[in-house]
């Protein structure tokens, strides 16, 4: 009965005799059904008792789903089953053997933020310079060492800096042991060491767990694999299910090579491939297969479906990221009008910073949306810090903003100093800013320096346009330097740079472009109306400075249109966050070189292959309709940047794509800044042609075009170099034989070349 709904490959996996086996389960191939049915089949056929099963998942949600499905298949009490995440199972093991593990019975678990706070406290107590040894770097070092199975005493120091890191690790271990706490990495390492060094405990679990089932095996790290091998050392069989084509967590320590190692060391030819997909139509799957085929060293599989080809993948290329977002919103509205639920529409992006322009377009259109697995742009920590500085520049008496950033980045203003400041403000009925002069000592001096910083930034930017004001604040507040020093701060820096873009777009939309941020605009303008009378709906920006208007805009976007719990809403998320999910319609945005694939990965083969796996994951999220979108230009750091189409578009066969903009020639046609306007053809969702006029603008300080010999070069133009390959001109300077071009090459990054000697070939499509 339980086998009736399984296809032949699924049935073969479920009914395999007890032995080591690797199940290569493609996206949408029913791997959870196989895992749960395998466990139920082993129990029902008498080959195992529930007591003898150990099932490892990577999320608590997956563990709950497996337990629920088991309950539906077999009438057994699932409460005693060992089904859970690596951390959850290790916690359970350590609770049962806390004395053997050297832990108190009531040991507490530190989450990531608690661990960081503990490290900071340790460093302060031991007078360790947090400039030389940032707490986050120490946290990363400790967790990396633990995930490699290394205690402080076995690590060889390479230099004095490394020796100090090891010393801090040793102090941290002693502190945790003294306080009876463990971090996430410690849970796994302590459980591994328990099995390794305690033969009675090891043999107990080896006798007990005769069948070990592992979900998402491609996401295991080195220590997790060692823990599994230790448990299986008594003759248990490991049933590993995974997909090497969906290994996208190398940055977390996942080792895709574990799958090949397991196949060689354990499975030894017992590999079952689940290739029938129950999620997507043929065009989507064939595109995914073709794309991932460019990766080397794959274990290999080919997804297929009985559902038919479905619709080809729609590809749209727009002149700018703003127009990309607007087209996307128009298409989302059309899908909703067709009767699709908003929650079945997903917009995916490679970088969190991309969400800002998409959020703004959805917000402006009044379409509810939800940022899945993350915060909306204006709610992100670094953006809220930046907005607090801007608010203080507009109004230094804003106590909430003052408290948020008075000591961020740290400037020696402690809790005691802030208490004194608050007391002084209350007793003199003034703001915190107004009470600064009433606090003495070193703390008071530091407060005064902060107040002076705010005043100086406000004074120095009073004549600057809004985007330049934001840029000045980021550079002088210390936020940029703070996140540059944080090895995990790259994404936060991207978001801060996107704030400059948001300010530039807002200034342009509200006709504040080029207007000093401290000047109140003449709203009536040249309308001929009397001053103060506007022949238009009332606007929040009326009578406000550009900075004040922008801050109001940010507050409104942060507060409105975010879907409430349970509300039908469009789903926005990064590709990483989308893994494991599926939707009727999916938009994959920003398919440009340097964005997807990301510029940090392009020059390394392993990095590029992981980017390709990310794209594979993104494609296979779509059930019925898939859109690929890209922009010829993006606003970054408040300036326009030009990019080439992603190589991933070239790796998908043409028969699976339906270009809503012409593939040949359209890519660079609009970029001739010498023309008054360019006409860019694009189609609607059904491929019907339409025409839109774009008025290009030349960024300040940029030469729009130069002529060298009989060739005319312009920004945004595609070119080919004999050595560096294909690229796009992103900057021009000089004239005639002295002209130079900055070119973003697909394979080698940005280069500056002398046009008189570079022998460039102009590429039109």
What's the token pair of residue 411?
A: 């400037």
- What's the distance, CA 523 to chain centroid? 40
Map 462-526 to HEC letters.
CCCEHHHHHHHHHHHHCHHHHHHHCCCCHHHHHHHHHHHHHHHHHHHHCCCCCCECCCCCCCCCC
Angle between helices 160-179 and 135-147 (to 10 degrees): 80
The helix (run of H) or strand (run of E) holding residue 729 is strand 725-733
CB 660 within 8 A of CB 314: yes
Specify the 3-state DSSP secondary structure of 142: helix
The helix (run of H) or strand (run of E) holding residue 543 is none
Q: Report the DSSP beta bridge partners of residue 636.
A: 639
How far, CA to CA in Å, does 231 sit from each of 193, 289, 736?
12, 36, 72
Q: Of 292, 243, 258, 260, nearest to 23 (Cα)?
A: 243
Cα distance from N-terminal residue to C-terminal residue, the chain: 57
Which residues are CB-neighbours of 255 under 8 A, at least 6 positions away?
Answer: 220, 221, 222, 225
DSSP string, 637-696: TTEEEE-PBPHHHHTS-GGGEEESS-SSSHHHHTT-TTSS-EEEEEE-TT--EEEEEE--
| Owner of token pair 């936020």 | 479
CB 345 within 8 A of CB 332: yes
How far, CA to CA in Å, does 692 sit from each of 318, 428, 645?
11, 61, 21
| Owner of token pair 């729009």 | 704
Gyration radius (Cα) of the chain, Å? 29
- Determine phi and psi for 740, rounding to 5 degrees: -125, 150
Angle at 676 between CA 675 and CA 682, to 5 degrees: 85
**Strand residue runs (E) in 34-143:** 53-57, 82-85, 108-110
**Among all residues, which ones are annotated catalytic?**
31-32, 215-216, 246, 621
CB 635 within 8 A of CB 597: no
How far, CA to CA in Å, does 468 sit from each of 479, 503, 696?
16, 9, 21
Interatomic CA distance for residues 248 and 352, integer angstroms: 16
CB 94 within 8 A of CB 184: no
What's the token pair of residue 735?
A: 């004239």
Q: Kindly report the number of other CB atoms within 10 A of residue 522's CB atom.
A: 12
Q: Is the preceding omega at residue 597 within 30 degrees of 0, hence cis?
A: yes
Interatomic CA distance for residues 286 and 279, integer angstroms: 13
CA quadruple 99, 100, 102, 106: dihedral, nearest 10 = -40
Interatomic CA distance for residues 419 and 408, integer angstroms: 17
Q: Of 551, 627, 635, nearest to 588 (Cα)?
A: 627
Interatomic CA distance for residues 708 and 717, integer angstroms: 15
Pairing of strands 53-57, 211-214: parallel
């Amino acid at each position: 009965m339980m086998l009736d709904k399984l296809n032949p490959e699924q049935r073969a996996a479920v009914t395999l005799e007890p032995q080591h086996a690797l199940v290569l389960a493609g996206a949408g191939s029913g791997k959870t059904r196989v895992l749960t049915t395998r466990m139920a089949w082993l129990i029902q056929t008498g080959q195992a008792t529930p007591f003898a099963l150990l099932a490892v998942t990577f999320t608590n949600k997956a563990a709950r789903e497996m337990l629920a499905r088991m309950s539906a298949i077999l009438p057994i009490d699932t409460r005693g089953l060992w089904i859970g995440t690596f951390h959850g199972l290790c916690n359970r093991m350590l609770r049962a053997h806390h004395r053997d593990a050297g832990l108190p019975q009531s040991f507490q678990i530190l989450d990531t933020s608690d661990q960081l706070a503990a490290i900071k406290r340790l460093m302060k107590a031991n007078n360790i310079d947090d400039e030389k040894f940032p707490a986050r770097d120490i946290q990363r070092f400790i967790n990396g060492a633990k995930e490699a199975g290394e205690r402080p005493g076995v690590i060889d120091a390479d230099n004095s800096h490394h020796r100090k890191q090891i010393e801090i690790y040793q102090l941290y271990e002693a502190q945790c042991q003294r306080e009876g706490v463990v971090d996430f990495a410690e849970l796994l390492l302590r459980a591994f060491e328990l099995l390794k060094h305690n033969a009675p405990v090891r043999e107990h679990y080896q006798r007990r767990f005769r069948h070990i089932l592992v979900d998402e095996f491609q996401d295991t790290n080195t220590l997790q694999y060692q823990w599994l091998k230790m448990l299986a050392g008594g003759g248990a069989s490991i049933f590993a299910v995974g997909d090497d084509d969906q290994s996208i967590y190398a940055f977390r320590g996942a080792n895709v090579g574990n799958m090949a190692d397991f196949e060689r060391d354990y499975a030894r030819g017992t590999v079952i491939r689940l290739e029938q997909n129950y999620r997507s139509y043929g065009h989507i799957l064939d595109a995914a297969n073709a794309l991932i085929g460019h990766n080397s060293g794959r274990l290999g599989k080919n997804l297929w479906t009985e559902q038919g080809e479905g619709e080809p993948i729609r590809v749209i290329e727009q002149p700018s990221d703003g127009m990309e977002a607007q087209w996307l919103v128009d298409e989302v509205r059309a899908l909703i009008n067709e009767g699709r639920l908003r929650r079945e529409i997903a917009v995916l992006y490679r970088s969190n910073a991309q969400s800002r322009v998409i959020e703004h377009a959805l917000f402006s259109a009044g379409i509810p949306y939800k940022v899945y697995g993350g915060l909306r742009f204006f709610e992100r920590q670094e953006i809220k810090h930046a907005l607090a500085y801007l608010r203080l520049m507009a109004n230094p008496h804003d106590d909430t903003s003052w408290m948020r950033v008075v000591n961020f980045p740290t400037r020696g203003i402690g809790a005691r100093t802030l208490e004194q400041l608050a007391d002084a403000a209350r007793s003199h009925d003034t703001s915190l800013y107004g009470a600064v002069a009433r606090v003495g000592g070193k703390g008071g001096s530091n407060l005064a320096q902060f107040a002076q910083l705010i005043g100086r930034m406000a004074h120095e930017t009073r004549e600057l346009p809004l985007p330049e004001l934001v840029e000045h604040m980021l550079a002088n507040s210390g936020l940029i330097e703070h996140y540059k020093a944080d090895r995990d701060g790259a994404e936060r820096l991207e978001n801060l740079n996107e704030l400059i873009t948001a300010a530039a777009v807002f200034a342009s939309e509200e006709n504040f472009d080029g207007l000093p941020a401290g000047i109140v605009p003449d709203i009536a303008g040249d309308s001929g109306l009397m001053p103060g009378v506007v022949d238009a709906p009332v606007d929040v920006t009326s009578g406000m400075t550009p900075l004040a208007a922008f801050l109001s805009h940010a507050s409104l976007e942060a507060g409105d249109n975010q879907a409430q719990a349970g509300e039908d809403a469009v789903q926005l998320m990064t590709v990483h966050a989308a893994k494991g999910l599926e939707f009727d319609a999916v938009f994959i945005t920003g398919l440009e070189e340097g964005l997807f694939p990301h510029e940090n990965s392009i020059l390394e083969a392993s990095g590029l292959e992981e980017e390709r796996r990310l794209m594979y994951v993104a494609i296979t999220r779509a059930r019925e309709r898939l859109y690929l979108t890209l922009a010829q230009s993006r606003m970054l750091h408040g300036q326009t940047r030009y990019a080439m189409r992603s190589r991933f578009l070239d790796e998908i066969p043409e028969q699976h794509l339906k270009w809503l903009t012409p593939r040949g020639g359209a890519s660079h046609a609009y970029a001739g800044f010498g023309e008054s306007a360019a006409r860019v053809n694009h189609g609607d969702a059904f491929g019907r042609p339409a025409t839109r006029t774009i008025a290009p603008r030349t960024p300040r300080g940029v030469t729009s075009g130069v002529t060298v010999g009989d060739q005319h070069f312009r920004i945004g133009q595609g070119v080919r170099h004999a050595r560096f390959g294909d690229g796009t001109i992103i900057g021009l300077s000089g004239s005639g034989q002295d002209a130079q071009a900055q070119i973003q090459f697909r394979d080698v990054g940005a280069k500056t070349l002398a046009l008189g000697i570079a022998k460039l070939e102009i590429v039109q499509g």
